[in-house]
């Protein structure tokens, strides 16, 4: 199913199950908590990578 990223509004594919790209993408707990605090829905892979890079480098 196509979804719109809650952060950047770019369209991306989400299967919503164990076959989804996000099920194999590592998201650090700090980043995961940040995402769940700010957004009510999924964000795209690019945004996850961007936030991870920013938050890890700021540590």
Which residue range is the domain that position 52 belongs to? Answer: 2-57
Q: Does residue 11 surpass a pLDDT of 90? A: yes
First to last CA, the chain: 35
d(CA 28, CA 6): 19
Domain count for the chain: 1
Mean pLDDT for the stretch of residues 20-43: 91
Give the CA diameter of the chain.
35
> Rounded to two decimals, what is the model's pTM?
0.83
**Residue 16 falls in which region: left (phi positive, over 0), alpha (psi -120 to 50) or beta:** left
Residue 29 has pLDDT above 90, yes or no: yes
């Amino acid at each position: 199913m196509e979804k719109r990223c809650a952060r950047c509004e770019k369209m991306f594919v989400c299967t919503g199950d164990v076959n989804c790209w996000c099920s194999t993408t590592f998201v650090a707990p700090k980043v995961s908590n940040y995402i769940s605090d700010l957004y009510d829905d999924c964000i795209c892979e690019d945004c996850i990578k961007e936030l991870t890079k920013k938050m890890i480098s700021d540590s």
